[in-house]
Structure 1
Amino acid sequence: MANVAFIGLGTMGFPMAGHLAAKGHDVCVYNRSSAKAESWVKQHGGRFAATPAAAAEGAELVFVCVGNDDDLRSVTLTETGVFAGMKSGAVLVDHTTASAEVARELYQVATEQGIGFLDAPVSGGQAGAENGVLSVMIGGDEAVYQQAEAVIASYAKSQKLIGGPGAGQLAKMVNQICIAGLVQGLAEAVHFIEKSGLDGEKVFDVIQHGAAGSWQMSNRHKTMLQGEFDFGFAVDWMRKDLSITLNEARRNGAQLPVTALVDQFYADVQQRGGGRWDTSSLLKRFETGQ
């Protein structure tokens, strides 16, 4: 059992920290809204701190799951950030979906302070976090990964060290590229079904077990057929992730024409007021024939 801190109790972080507590780890949490931290402690035990630095004091592992690069720097590099409270030999595991650039930046700072650092974005959404079955893509050093592997397993179904600093974030970009294309294809398929007069349930009951099957099809076709989108991974979040991905592609020269197009389709959904809808809401674009 480890003495750990968890910074950021949002949709993903709240249940992830809960799994750490359920596994018997001594958990101290921090959240920008102290009410959320108090709520977590009432539900899971442990304790909460007033600053990231205070939460990190004495922790063997510090986990962070916040919104973006700026949020990440705020809870790590400032006077009240975790680096100010962490001890030499401890490990910082960042589960934020952020840029590879900030991952390498934090790796360098951590190394200078004798602290281990892993960039470890996750996939699996809110359901994966709540059920403790996330997929974790990790960048960093092998020895540091071995220090954290067993604790990460508290909420991970699968995890893998992909490569050096930033590799975890790059792998998450690959994940989002795949999802963008899959969801657009699924939206077009549902639209085609509706125009053809087919029974969508019967169609998907058959094809989801064949070569066209995917997690998105199995988990989203029913709600798409019913026109339900008020749940899941928000369009706003997806656009943030795709922005990071497209910026990286401009840097490394990768050509992502479909990803760039789907990003603009998500911009259309945002303009329709769907920023908080699930990513499967790409289907809504077809309501006016766009």
Structure 2
Amino acid sequence: MLLTALDNLLLDDRPRQLAGLRRGALEFWYFGIKQARACLFVFTFMAAVLLMPRAGIAGIPRYDLLLVVALAIQFGMVWSKLETWDELKAVCLFHAVGFALEAFKVSGSIQSWSYPDFAYTKVLGVPLFSGFMYAAIGSYIIQAWRMLDLRVRHHPPYWMAATIAILIYANFFTHHCIGDYRWYLAACALGLYSRTVVIYRPLDRERQMPLLLGFVLIGFFIWLAENIGTFWGVWRYPNQLGAWSLVHLSKWSSWSLLVIMTFTIVASLKHVKARIHISED
């Protein structure tokens, strides 16, 4: 409703007549509202994580309840047309990608982190709700793309972007056996996206920012959310089993790289869909 009211504001000339700090404040406010709307799945799911008792409710384990909540939020967004069926398909892809990574990381030979509580919906030691934490990142990027009318300028060739994304994802698996090439991949991504800017419309004028800055900022907020999740004991790293401690700052870089991979998937899907529509015309 708030977005509708602000959209109505654009029908007159008042925003166009503003300048200086007043315009900046209005644009920042509108940008924040759109960001909050894009984070709808993230906010509601994190609220469920924070409010869910560790012992569960009525004998139902909390991991199972979190899965039910995540499914309810997801289908509620589609039913209310806050998310399209195409967007839901993309979110499901992120869920599958995230679950595969989780299953590998919690396996007996790796044990990068663990889910300590019992659940009926655990598969390979991973509660099924965990895939929605990765899907939430994809959901945010998809929603923000639409809400802010995003356009990307100087995007690298899609085959190059896809190659880096695949290598980033593969490194999460292979660094346990052949070494961590995270910083080499980060350097390649830095060169690849150095000229890339994202153009967005918070109000009635287009603004732009370096895409790399967006990757780093999103990665930082995911790192903050990860600290909240581990503090509540939803999952734990080995150094947090005795007592909680701050998630290592290096995870920020890992999340930023994961955001690059997620953004590449979204951009590639939109690119393919645009080409299909062009061929149909």
**Alignment TM class, shorter chain as reference:** under 0.3
TM-score between the two structures when normalised by the length of structure 2 = 0.27
Q: Which has the higher strand share?
A: 1
For normalisation by structure 1, the TM-score amounts to 0.27
Q: Which has the higher helix share?
A: 2
**RCO higher in 1 or 2 (8 Å CA, sep ≥ 6)?**
2
